[in-house]
Amino acid sequence: MCRWKIGCENMGKSQRDKGYRVENNVRKKALDHGLDACYRVPLSGGGSIKGDIVVGCENSKERWTLEVKCRASGFKQIYDWIEGNDGLVIKADGKRELVVLDMGDFFDLVAGKHDL
């Protein structure tokens, strides 16, 4: 039985370990950007909070819940599209628009440190 994700009984140990490493690195980078209210979600979305990481500042009530995904080359097209831009807006037919940002820029925006 998987200890930290519900529904991951078919997930191998290396996949769980990779997910933990990536989520923990995101948490560390958020802390490096001054987001002192940052933690990994227990059970990674299997509980009352849906997502993997929650980030924010202690002096603010605002919190951002983030889902973390890591693929060897599954997001190559997104990286190609965002190259040379500040952000990327993506939209699938019948779905809402999403904005893709560099993680450091996003953390700076949340921390109120980004120069626009």
**pLDDT digits 0-9 by tens, 65-112:** 999 999 988 899 999 999 999 999 999 999 999 999 999 999 999 988
Say whether pLDDT at 18 is over 70. Answer: yes
Over residues 21-69, the pLDDT tens digits come to 999 999 999 999 989 889 988 876 677 778 999 999 988 888 999 999 9
Higher pLDDT, 14 or 89: 89
- Say how many CA atoms lie within 13 Å of 112 toward its Cβ: 7
- Domain regions of the chain by residue span: 13-111
Query: In the chain, what is the straight-line distance between the N-terminal and C-terminal CA atoms, in Å?
Result: 47
CA–CA separation, 79 vs 84, rounded Å? 10
Q: Any idea which residue has 């993997």 for tokens?
A: 52
DSSP one-letter code for 74: T
CB 19 within 8 A of CB 68: yes
Say whether pLDDT at 6 is over 60. Answer: no
pLDDT of residue 45: 61
Residue 8 — pLDDT band, cuts 50, 70, 90? low
Helix (H) / strand (E) element for 40: namely strand 39-40
pLDDT of residue 69: 92
pLDDT of residue 1: 39
